[in-house]
Copies of this chain bind each other. A is one copy, B any other.
Amino acid sequence: MSTEQNPNVVRHHYQTKREDRERILNQRATIIWFTGLSGSGKSTLADAVERELQSRGYKTYLLDGDNLRHGLNADLDFSESGRQENIRRTGEVSALLFDAGLIVLTAFVSPYRSDRDKIRSLFPEGRFIEVFVDCPIEVCEQRDIKGLYAKARQGLIPDFTGVSAPYEPPLHPELTIHSHLHDEPACTQQVIQTCEPRLRHDTP
Contacts and interface: CB of A to CB of B under 8 A. Distances in A.
Interface of A: 1-4, 6, 8-12, 14-16, 20-21, 24-25, 43, 47-48, 50-51, 54, 57, 59-64, 66-67, 69-78, 85, 89, 92-93, 95-97, 99-102, 107, 146, 148, 151, 157
A150 to B, nearest CB: 11
A51 B97 contact: no
Given A16-B47, A51-B16, A72 B96 contact: yes
A15 B10 CA distance: 40
Copies of this chain, count: 2
Contacts of A11: 66-67, 70
Nearest to A157: B8
Given A10-B66, A92-B71, A3 B157 contact: no
Contact of A100 (B48, B69, B85, B100): B100
Contacts of A89: 72, 89
Contact of A70 (B4, B69, B70): B4
8 contacts: A2-B76, A3-B77, A8-B151, A11-B66, A12-B107, A16-B50, A16-B54, A72-B92
A104 to B, nearest CB: 9
A97 B95 contact: no
A8 B148 contact: yes
Contacts of A74: 2-4
Contacts of A6: 69, 78
A14 B64 contact: yes
Contacts of A66: 9-12
A200 to B, nearest CB: 16
Given A54-B24, A74-B3, A146-B8, A16 B59 contact: no
Given A9-B70, A71-B92, A24 B57 contact: yes
